[in-house]
Chains A and B, each alone.
Chain A
Amino acid sequence: MRPFICAALALAVVGFAADARAADALDGTLATCWSCHGVEGASNDHTLPILWGQKAKYIEKQIRDFREGDREDQIMSSMASSIKKDDISRAASLIAAKAWPKTQAVAAAAPDSIEACKGCHGSDLTGGESPEGPAPRLAGQFAEYLTAQMEAFAHGDRRNQKTMQAMMKSLKPDERAGLAAYLAGL
């Protein structure tokens, strides 16, 4: 019996060391993310989305979509592929576990159409599971980014979610901007 236990122990130690190295490498990769997405979770550039505290399942799907080309962005396609396949869900959990940062956005009036969003994005619009897949937190996201994404859905430049595309197409540009302003101020 004895030799067997030794081998198992040695294996466990090796496994642990490898895990620690993998974690370091992933931390290093994620550090690069913050140089765009903000070292404290929010960028000064409001065309870049807040990631910290976003829903893990949603982040994971986006990283896969960027890698596989279902969501197009030249920069994010490269950045997403810098995360090893086996690390994607762990990376998403690490990002999701951080606290959502508070922004300076001011409160804006709620458009009537906001009710239609709550079924999927959650009654407080902080995201959740929807019949259409993981729905992201919208509350407190940057208005500039939200508007750009809604426009992208409406014009077919973002096509990784059919229902969102149809929904955004049915709204007018000023309605989309109004929703973004309200969401950013939450």
Chain B
Amino acid sequence: MKTRILLSASALALVAGTAASIAMDYRGGNSAFGDWHGDTPGLMRKIEAGDVAKPGATPSAANRSKVVPRPADAQIKTMPGFTVSDFATGLEGARVIRIAPNGDVFVSQSMPSGSVTVLRPSKDGKVESKETFVTGLTRAYGIAFYPPGPNPKYVYIGMEGKVVRLPYKNGDMKATGPAEDIVTDLKIGGGHWTRDVSFTPDGKLMYVAVGSGSNIAEEMSPRPADLKAWEKAPHSLGSTWGAKEEWRANVLTYTPDGKNKQVYAAGIRNCSGLTVQPGTGTVFCATNERDLLGDNTPPDYVTSVKKGGYYGWPWYYIGANEDTRPDGGARPDLKGKAIVPDVLLQPHSAPLGLSFNPGGMFPAEWKGDAFVAMHGSWNRSLHTGYKIVRLPFKNNKATGEYQDFVLGFTAPSGEENVWGRPVDTQFMHDGSLLFSDDANGVIYRVTYSKDKVAAAEDTGAKKN
């Protein structure tokens, strides 16, 4: 199922002449799966639930990437009309990016410093000044301004075990007061340490993402005698239990004062990129699915998240595919109850950050599309991920497809090496896209110019 759609120059005008429509390679079914060798800017893929490979179809491989410094001749690849340049360098451990109402760029540097850095952009898209907003917050990760809107009073930060908040007003580059504990009971341990934070558009509820305490719940204490009762509020359908896994693999909600903890959704192995879709208020997560089942299973995903929704972990994945590894026995009662996520992604690509294009710079029909950063694989024979992809949306709903957008960080000198591991994406007020790389501590900026596409087509035409 590999179709090559080539649009002629005249057809191009009809589809508004975006770079995306010049030459589009489309892969579905089995051909949608693969490693970085098959990646190319513009390539569109669609993976469907029926395509999911059986566990063990290939052995579970271990191939950890080795981070090398950015080579002098490094070339990032993207689609025609786009330019990728350095926005900021020297930001060790750069992770989550959020933009303040005044345009200042907040970046968490989770390790080793546990800080949040503020970068003030200049008119020409460079960094005019830089300050440390706060430091010493262990594994500082998620950042959210509160209340939502033009005049936030606090910056909330998700960190190890906690959500804290610091006083803030527009223009502050350093916190004017100490961190105040808001939530102090977030579970820690087990590798899934990122704690993302976001607010409902009305500011009444705070979402906090807490990943699972393990790959596949190899150890859960004895199951609750009455599962039906267990799954009532404050838990929900498919909630895990025990010292290690209760309140994990969840999106939780609290009131902004840190009270009224509830499970909003369960079975999401590690929700990162927790994002509220502008306009609809729908919550979205990007998720790394479970390890050790082989190269092409199970798909990672991006999905809208329903209140009370169950997304499968640990007993099921991508709908009704059963996993027999969790401790404490099967859950036939949950079969068929796990929601199939909206967009399935190549297994092991490790999607993390996610943001929606507000428009203003990128091609007009890309407005509302999601851009996802993939940190890249270790549990796959050949590397996959290590790129930024675009998820097309129509009427605020994902089409299920995704497109290679920015790539080229893999194998600069040897298959095992990489020089970039994208973590988060975020749009600036001018519609350009920032993305972070925690491998070499860089924030990149992606800009777009129609003139550049036209120029590229001109020279292309002359060559023909």
Which residues from chain A sit less than 8 Å from chain B, CB to CB? 32-33, 35-36, 44-45, 47-48, 67-70, 72-79, 81-82, 85, 151-152, 155-157
- Report the separation of the CA atoms of residues A64 and B219 in the bound assembly, to the nearest whole angstrom: 12
Contact of B62 among A32, A69, A156 (CB under 8 A): A32
The yes or no answer to B51 lying at the interface (CB within 8 A) is no
The answer to the question of B328 belonging to the interface, with a C-beta cut-off of 8 Å to chain A, is no
Partner of A68, one of B111, B215, B244: B244
Q: Is B112 an interface residue (CB 8 A)?
A: yes
* Distance in angstroms between the alpha carbons of A73 and B192 in the assembled complex: 8
A77 adjacent to B191 (CB under 8 Å):
yes
**Distance from A47 Cβ to chain B, minimum over Cβ atoms (Å):** 7
Question: B175-198 toward A: CB 8 Å interface, digit per residue (1/0)?
Answer: 000000000000011111100000
Contact assessment for A69 and B189 in the assembled complex, using a CB-CB cutoff below 8 Å: yes
Given contacts A69-B213, A81-B214, A157-B111, is CB(A74)–CB(B191) below 8 Å? yes
- Whether B443 is near chain A, meaning CB under 8 Å from some CB there, is no
Residues of A within 8 A of B215 (CB): 77-78, 81-82
Residues on B with beta carbons closer than 8 Å to the beta carbon of A69:
188-191, 213-214, 244
Give every chain B residue within 8 A of A70 (Cβ-Cβ).
189
Q: Which residues of A contact B192 (CB under 8 A)?
A: 74
* Interface residue B218 (Cβ < 8 Å from any Cβ of A): yes
Q: For window 34-83 of chain B, which residues contact chain A by CB distance below 8 Å?
A: 60-64, 66
Which residue from chain A places its CB closest to the CB of B59 in the assembled complex? A32
Chain B stretch 206-242: residues in CB contact (< 8 A) with chain A: 213-216, 218-219
**A169 to B111, alpha carbons, bound, how many Å?**
16
Contacts between chains A and B (CB distance < 8 A), count: 71
B214-A155 in contact (CB<8A): no
Is A73 touching B191 in the complex (CB atoms < 8 A)? yes
| Closest Cβ–Cβ distance, residue A38 to chain B (whole Å) | 12
Chain B residues within an 8 Å CB radius of A156:
138
The 4 closest A-B pairs by CB, nearest first: A69-B189, A77-B191, A74-B191, A69-B190
Given contacts A67-B218, A78-B291, A81-B214, contact A36 B62 (CB under 8 A): yes
B-chain residues with CB within 8 Å of residue A151 when the two chains form the complex? 112
Q: How close is A45's CB to chain B, nearest CB, in angstroms?
A: 5
Question: How far does the alpha carbon of A33 sit from the alpha carbon of B64 in the complex, in Å?
Answer: 11
Check: B378 CB closer than 8 A to any chain A CB. Answer: yes
Structural contact, A81 and B62, CB atoms closer than 8 A: no
A70-B189, A74-B191, A151-B112 known; A35 and B216 CB under 8 Å? no
CA distance A82 to B292 in the complex (A): 8
Q: Which of B251-306 contact A (CB under 8 A)?
A: 291-292
Contact of A75 with B378 at beta-carbon distance under 8 Å, contacts A47-B66, A67-B214 already known: yes
Q: Which residue of A lies closest to B378 (CB)?
A: A75
Q: List 16 A-B contacts (CB under 8 A).
A: A35-B62, A35-B63, A36-B62, A36-B64, A45-B64, A69-B188, A69-B189, A69-B191, A73-B191, A75-B191, A78-B191, A82-B215, A82-B292, A151-B112, A155-B111, A156-B138
* Distance to closest chain A CB from B295 (angstroms): 13
Q: Could you give, for residues 159-178 of chain B, a 1 whenever the CB lies within 8 Å of some chain A CB and a 0 otherwise?
A: 00000000000000000000
Q: Provided the pairs A67-B219, A72-B190 are in contact, do residues A77 and B138 lie with their beta carbons within 8 angstroms?
A: no
B379 at the A interface (CB under 8 A): yes
Given contacts A67-B214, A70-B189, A82-B292, 4 further A-B contacts (CB under 8 A): A72-B190, A73-B191, A82-B215, A155-B113
Residue of B nearest to A65 (CB): B189
Quick one: which of B317-343 are within 8 Å of A by CB? none
B416 at the interface (CB under 8 A from A): yes
B292 touching A78, Cβ below 8 Å: yes
With a CB–CB cut-off of 8 A, which chain B residues contact A74? 191-192
Shortest beta-carbon distance from A142 to chain B in Å: 13
Q: Is the CB of B60 within 8 A of A32?
A: yes
Pick the contact of A81 from B63, B193, B218 — CB < 8 Å? B218
**Residues of chain B contacted by A72 (CB below 8 angstroms):** 189-191, 193
Shortest distance in angstroms between B179's beta carbon and chain A's nearest beta carbon?
Answer: 16
Among A35, A76, A151: residue with most chain B CB under 10 A: A35
Q: Quick one: which of A33, A44, A85, A155 contacts B112, CB cutoff 8 A?
A: A155
Smallest Cβ-Cβ distance to A156: which chain B residue: B138
Within 108-144 of B, Cβ neighbours of A (below 8 Å) are at: 111-113, 138-139
Q: Are A81 and B216 in contact (CB under 8 A)?
A: yes
Chain A residues within an 8 Å CB radius of B416: 44-45
Per the bound structure, the CA–CA distance linking A52 and B424 in Å amounts to 37
Taking A68-B244, A69-B244, A74-B191 as contacts, is the C-beta distance between A79 and B62 under 8 angstroms? yes
Chain B residue with minimal CB distance to A151? B112
| Contact (Cβ within 8 A) A35 B138 | no
Once the chains are docked, how many angstroms separate the CA of A47 from the CA of B379? 17
Which A residues are CB-close (under 8 A) to B111? 155, 157
| Min CB gap A76→B, angstroms | 8
Q: Give the interface centre of B61, B64, B189 by most chain A CB atoms within 10 Å.
A: B189
User: Distance (Å) between the CB of B323 and the closest chain A CB?
Assistant: 13
Do A157 and B214 touch across chains, with their CB atoms under 8 A apart?
no
Q: Closest residue to B416 on the A side, CB-wise?
A: A45
B189 touches A78 (CB 8 A): no
Residue of B nearest to A155 (CB): B112
Nearest B residue to A84 via CB reads B218
- Please, which residues of chain B bring their CB within 8 A of the CB of A78? 191, 215, 291-292, 379
Q: How far is the CA of A72 from the CA of B191 in the complex (A)?
A: 5
Determine if B213 and A75 form an interchain contact, defined as CB atoms under 8 angstroms apart. no
Checking A48, A67, A77, A157 against B64 with a beta-carbon cut-off of 8 angstroms, the contacting residue is: A48
